[in-house]
Copies of this chain bind each other. A is one copy, B any other.
Amino acid sequence: MEFSSKLLERAVNEMSQLPGIGKRTALRLVLHMLRQSKDQTMALSEALQSMRSNVKFCKSCHNISDIELCEICSNPNRNETIVCVVEDIRDVMAIENTSSFKGLYHVLGGKISPMDGVGPHDLNIESLVSKVKQGIIKELIFALSSTMEGDTTNFYIYKQIQKYKIVTSTIARGISVGDELEYADEITLGRSIVNRIPFETSLKL
């Protein structure tokens, strides 16, 4: 792509570094900014700068937070004996939206993925193990993606905390609500039969 302006070229190149944004999309976005008022572009870039410079992570669960201990960790109404292990702050937001979990979270910051160069030491696993060691946590719920990397990460953490004899669980795998059986994959369908629940229980959900 040949640009008629170096300023434009640099802006497009920087935008296209973002995941899922190619040169064409970056150009479209940058041209949109040029059509809008200057204030809007300034507000965007100022928001990105101040977020990147000032964002903090909760010292306990590693969720993004403006304060040292995030609102969930510092809420006395939450059950600190149950901790849900997730990859990412997006998972915290998704689970919080369901209003079905009243424990605390632990954000790993990713999953073990040798292909992407992510090992156990790149994740917040040590701090989780030391929290378990303290003896307050009674149950750990693994809520990672149902992929090979997710399963590997679950298993790695399980091995580390096994000796502390706490309850560990993983979120249920099964047919999604609203899904038709014939389109479900074999493994999901198989697991949903093996892990069936009493009908009376399902009525209460």
Q: A residues within 8 Å of B by Cβ?
A: 1-8, 10-11, 13-15, 17-21, 25, 27-35, 38, 40-56, 58, 63-66, 70-72, 88-90, 92-93, 96-97, 109-110
Q: From A55, A63, A88, name the one whose CB has the most chain B CB atoms within 10 angstroms.
A: A55
- Complex CA gap A15/B46 in Å reads 11
Query: CB distance A5 to B45 under 8 Å?
Result: no
Q: A49 contacts which chain B residues (CB < 8 A)? A: 41-42, 45
CB-contact partner of A41 in B6, B19, B48, B88, under 8 A: B48
Majority SS of interface residues in chain A?
helix
Closest to A66 in B: B5
Going nearest first, the 6 A-B pairs with the smallest beta carbon separation are: A45-B45, A11-B51, A41-B52, A14-B44, A14-B47, A7-B51
Q: From A6, A14, A31, A96, name the one whose CB has the most chain B CB atoms within 10 angstroms.
A: A14
Q: A14 contacts which chain B residues (CB < 8 A)? A: 43-44, 47-48
- Complex CA gap A44/B96 in Å reads 32
Closest to A21 in B: B29
